[in-house]
Structure 1
Amino acid sequence: MLTGPQKRFLRKEAHGLQPIFQVGKGGVNPNMVSQISDALLARELLKVSVLQNCEVPKEEVAEMLSERTGSELVQLIGRTIILYKESHKNKQIELP
């Protein structure tokens, strides 16, 4: 579980990142979850964009991705989800 200062730090770190995944009409599928999990192991912090044609509410998409990838939901702002998962092999971000 992330604390408030840690979430603020991660939001600041994610500010310059571009979303590398998009959730569209098909919603969240197992292939997408595995790709996001792999990306989290490599990057630790990433953004996911929820497209307007997505039939699942963005809050549910954020919750599903967080649960299924074992990551922490840092922020849901607009249609952008920020996820964080600490990588033990490829540690890049040092939390305060």
Structure 2
Amino acid sequence: MLTGKQKRFLRKEAHHLKPIFQIGKAGLHETMFKEINDVLEARELIKISVLQNAIEDPNEAGQVLAEKTEAEFVQVLGNVITLYKKSENNPNLQLPR
């Protein structure tokens, strides 16, 4: 579980990032969970865009993605979800305590 200070730090770090996944009309599915999990292992912090034609609400989709990928839900800003998961192999981000 992330503290408020850690979430602020991650929001600052994610500010310049572009969304690398899109959730569209097809919605969430197992393949997407696996791909997002792989990318989280490589990058630790990612953004995901929820398109206007998506069935899912961005808040609900963010919670489901965090649960399925065992990541931390950082925030939803508009239609963009930010997720964080510490890399097991090569951690890049050092979270404040």
**Does the pair score TM above 0.5?**
yes
Can you give the 5+ residue segments of structure 2 that lack an aligned partner in the other structure? none
Runs of 4+ aligned structure 1 residues displaced above 3 Å come to: none
Query: How far apart are the structure 2 equivalents of 1:10 and 1:65?
Result: 17
Q: Which residue of 2 aligns with 1:48?
A: 48
Cα offsets for 1:67-86 (capped at 9, x unmatched): 00000000111000000000
Distance 1:7 1:57 in 2: 21
Query: Structure 1, unaligned stretches of length 5 or more?
Result: none
- TM-score normalised per structure 1: 0.98
SS in 2 for 1:46: strand
Q: Does structure 1 residue 8 correspond to structure 2 residue 16? A: no
What are the superposed Cα offsets for residues 31-61 of structure 1, whole Å, 9 maximum, x if unpaired? 0110000000000000000000001211211
Paired-residue identity, %:
54
Tell me the TM-score normalized by structure 2: 0.97
- Over the aligned positions, Cα root-mean-square deviation in angstroms equals 0.6
